[in-house]
A and B are shown apart, each in its own frame.
Chain A
Amino acid sequence: MFSNEQINLDHLPDFDLVNYEKLSEKSPIEQLISWSITYAIVGVIFVAMSIILSLPTELIISAWTIYLVLMGLTAFYIFASHEKRGVAVRENDILYRRGLFWRNTTIIPFNRIQHIESQQGPIERKLSLSTLKIFTAGGLSSDLQVSGLSSYRASQIRQLILSKTTSETDTAESTHE
């Protein structure tokens, strides 16, 4: 049966009007810890180098200044970007918003999700956080990674997506054009 009903653009569900849920409060802590480890390693290497190579004092001072400024900026970025990150789940898709300067909202319809993975690093495990990876077709660039979800919320979303996608496949497979 052919039909051709008019679609009113203004009446379509607006992706811009959803309420985003912030990621877990522990997410910035996890990022702080992993960045601190990185900074600590860089710091140790730098101390060792300045002792071994007996670098001039001015160089050491300016390098430490840069180091501290970068550290401050990183910390600021972690908290500021946390404020801007959020996920929202609608009936048929999941939305992920992120980015401090480049604000990016990605919408992934459930019926396009190929598979989904959840991951926990050692620090994430301690803080009971999870990273959710959502894969769609189209190569590496198409994968979406949502880190900093509480483990509970991550498994909820995972379950929801899985239930949605498995119920989709039956209908979807049968309707190749």
Chain B
Amino acid sequence: MNEWKYLSPIAIAYFILSFAVKFIKDGLLNFAPLLAVFVTQVDDKLFWASIIIAALVVFLVVYSLLFFKSFRFKINSNQILLERGVFNKEVTTLSFEKVQNVNLSTPFYFEPFKAVNCIFDSAGSSQKEISLPGVSLTYAEKVRKEIMQFRRNMATTKFDAGSEAELGTSHDLDETSDYAVNNKPAKLKLSIKEIGLYGLSSNMTFILLAFLAPFTEKIIDFFKESFVPIFVDLLTQVLPEGQYIKILAGVLIVVLLVLFGLTLSVVSAVIQFYGFQFYDENKNLRRVAGLFDKHQISIAKHRIQAISIRQNWVFKLFKRVTVQFHQLAAGVGKQNKGKNNLAIPTLSQLNWPEFVSDSFQDLDMKGLEFIRISPRYISRTFTFNWLLPLSVISLFLMTKNPNWIWLNFVAVFGLAIVYLKWRRYGIWFSDKYIAIRTGFIGQKITILPTYKMQNISFQQTPMLKRNRLAHLTFQLPYGKASIPYLPVRLATALVNLSVYEIESNPKHWL
């Protein structure tokens, strides 16, 4: 076992696809300005586009081949060694004790070859993802068993095989080890319709519009020249001619663009979450999903640092929520953060308490009633964040042109926003859990076990002190949660209770 191994050639397909996806996801956004130049400036579009695409495809294939050739790995008795890279040779070592989970994912084109992608999940360290695509299922199972055995031995030597060992870190692997033969039915399956709904609610359209914004003028010109006449032609065939036809064509194009954006987000949601199945396996949560690449994520329940329940305005209309199970943030950056989290993209708003109770078993969901923050939040935030800056700016502008007085009326919107936000702010706590509610039109509820907190900050300005109010910030292993304008008595009691819980609870937070 102690020599370098290479992947099976089927991995080339995996590399080509994953690099292509990576390029489209990360790279294409950076090329957006070039794309705009291309669309507006280049004459012979079809010719050049095909040349560029062909070059990209050739590069992608060659790069993937070279990457495949450079990829080799070695699995010793206690660590995984990985060597890869075309331009930079990268050597990665991952010791077995750092492995939290061994996940197997099966892209559809791996199935005929009985191959899997063996992913070593090392949450808690800032390691890059380590995976072996295209190894045989039997080999992957063997490696997983070995790692599991190693972890079990480690736990027994550490804690004398006694009662504590059972409670030790070995769990994570114990529970996931049987998933190939696990017959327990899924707790939740999502239909394509539900996944599509999630796609509608995610904000892809706005992202698309946002990154196109700098080129709006050119794009509008481009549309005016190339698309509007076509639409006008089409419309004139069914409608009588007139000036309004051009406007109608413009509106039609905008509607089509928005529809296109929505379709894009629905499609991407379906690709990501197709065949979503959620399993509750006593000590673990597991989900399997994916259209092309069946991806599996599992979390040991005791590693869940917080659960958040989100409902944006679209989901409010559809009476749905998104439930997220947060794990320890590994490394820096958003991508890493998202990867560690297990989420149920869409769930009926009546059902989420059940899913929370499954993980936080000693939490009584019925008592979850939020205490509002002080109404002073409205007056203060409105005055300092809206009224004052707006008056100063409008006064300054009115010296140039008195018409700027209308700017003051924007404050009305400000008041509405501040009021809506105030209505959403809420806190609830028991001796074991804290829940924080925030939001604007939609809402987000974050529920966290108190003992998992890392530190707590209590903030006051002289003004808040006079009004006997305070802000609280809880540092969690995955990020911050804060709540402003709490009555000082409540805030102090909450801090004292939390500190007591953190310091007296013998459970380890991780």
Listed in ascending order, the chain A residues whose CB lies under 8 Å from chain B are 7, 9, 12-16, 92-93, 99, 101-112, 136-142, 144, 171-177
Contact = CB atoms under 8 A, between A and B. Distances in A.
A112 B329 CA distance: 15
Nearest to B302: A177
Interface stretch (B342-350, B382-390, B470-478): B470-478
A35 B174 CA distance: 57
B477 A138 contact: yes
Interface in B454-510: 454-462, 465, 475-480, 492-493, 495-497, 499-500, 502-503, 506-510
Nearest to A107: B456
17 contacts: A13-B496, A15-B496, A15-B499, A93-B499, A103-B461, A107-B495, A137-B509, A138-B475, A139-B479, A141-B479, A142-B454, A142-B475, A172-B506, A174-B167, A175-B508, A176-B507, A177-B507
Given A15-B492, A112-B454, A142-B454, 15 more contacts: A7-B497, A9-B493, A15-B495, A102-B461, A106-B458, A109-B502, A137-B477, A174-B164, A174-B168, A175-B164, A175-B507, A176-B508, A176-B510, A177-B302, A177-B507
Interface of B: 158-159, 164, 167-169, 171, 302, 328-329, 332, 431, 453-462, 465, 475-480, 492-493, 495-497, 499-500, 502-503, 506-510
B163 to A, nearest CB: 9
Contacts of B453: 112
Contact of A108 (B158, B455, B478, B509): B455
Contacts of A7: 431, 497, 500
A104 B459 contact: yes
Contact of A144 (B455, B465, B499, B506): B455
Contacts of B302: 176-177
Nearest to A169: B508
B329 A138 contact: yes
Chain B interface, DSSP helix/strand/loop, else mixed? mixed
A175 B496 contact: no
A112 B509 contact: yes
A128 B169 CA distance: 43
B427 to A, nearest CB: 15
A22 to B, nearest CB: 19
Contact of A16 (B167, B479, B492, B509): B492
A106 B455 contact: yes
Nearest to B506: A175
A106 B510 CA distance: 21
Nearest to B464: A103
Contacts of A141: 475, 479-480
A177 B475 CA distance: 21
Contacts of B329: 138-139
A136 B455 contact: yes
Contact of A92 (B462, B475, B503): B503
Contacts of B507: 175-177
Contacts of A111: 502-503
Nearest to B167: A176
A171 B431 contact: no
A170 B455 CA distance: 21
A9 B480 CA distance: 25
